[in-house]
Amino acid sequence: MQTAFLAQRIFDGSRILEEQAVLVHDDEIVGLAPASDIPGKFNKRDLGDVLLAPAFMDLQIYGGNGKLFSTELTVEALEATYESCLQGGCTQFMITMATNSIDKFLSGIDRVRDYWARGGKGLIGMHLEGPYISTAKRGAHIEKFIKRPESEEVKMLLDKGRNVIKMITLAPECCDREIIDMVLRNQVIGSAGHSNATYQEAMDGFEAGIPVATHLFNAMSPLQGRQPGMVGAIYDSTAHCSIVCDGVHVDFASVRISQKIMQERLFFITDAVAEVRHGEYQHIFKSDRYTLPDGTLSGSTLTMSGAVKNGVEKAGIELTEALRMASLYPARLMKLDKKYGNITSGRKADFAILDEGLNLRTLIVEGE
């Protein structure tokens, strides 16, 4: 099928265009054309007075639509998470498991493979948030599962999770250089997080090759005058970092300041969970957040389209930059920007359609 998608405005990943159409063959973009000069072989689909942008990508989400993956460890939980992502304009996601037993991680790996085998869509892979993190900065993570990494165990986990595990959040001060090298050598992205590292410990981790950090400000040593900590090292390095733009995990002023400093190194995640009142990780819904039963902040209610809207309206980030923070920048980190994050020939035809208020109007997935 050949379709020309017309919209009042089109964001191609670089700039906003007017009076243009996106030309799609089946599930792939073949180019752009003036709205007045669409080749006759394309069926026109006029979306109206909307903004068409690349669909979003979420590199840290734990579940959705009432199902937390680490509690259920089922294909159905992954399907529910994908459907939840679509409701926020996101077509690609990384299922995340917080610090847990190695056996549960292994079960999670098997379920991801099952999901793919059944033709499940949108799942990039798995993000293990832990267990090699700092007890002092564990946040909502379960302390009994936190450990220092041993090379034999890490090797086993990487071998079992080959092509499934795509990212591991670890505290650089808790991991020897050998461990960091092993993770990176296996084409897994090491992300510095849940860390009480000093500035120098964090910089040592980034200089060892860690390319990114997990949820800026949350569960990491803060920036202070005499102790720049992890936050200072992130600012001062070339590392990328995710941020939860919900006004709960991070004040919107901190989002704005960080974006000014980091520019294209900063990207949005949802850090979203689902309400669960049983099992080891219990998340209680509290209006604009989720908490543990003891009140500890444990996850967000955010969607990726909500992050974009908040970024523009609450944090004062330019619209084009907020859109890139939800699409192009995470795609670049994952080396998926040849398929997602911009609207040029050869990319997948996944589009988020936003109204004037930056609310999600609809979603085009694989050209449909």
Q: With contact defined as beta carbons under 8 Å apart, do 52 and 11 qualify?
A: yes
Residue among 271, 294, 337, 350 flagged as catalytic: 271
Rg (the chain; Cα; Å): 20
Which of 186, 314, 341, 294 lies closest to 245 in space, CA to CA? Answer: 314
Residue 96, phi then psi, degrees to nearest 5? -120, 140
Burial group, residue 138, by CB count within 10 angstroms (0-12, 13-18, 19+)? buried
- Sheet of 297-299, strand order: 284-285, 290-291, 297-299
SS percent in the chain: helix, strand, coil, step 5: 30, 30, 40
At 143, list the tokens. 């302390």
Residue 294 zone, left/alpha/beta (φ > 0; ψ -120 to 50; rest): alpha
3-state secondary structure of 300: strand
Q: Please give the Cα distance from 44 to 40 (Å, whole number).
A: 9
Told to judge if 204 belongs to the known catalytic residues of this protein, a careful annotator would answer no
Residues with catalytic annotation?
271
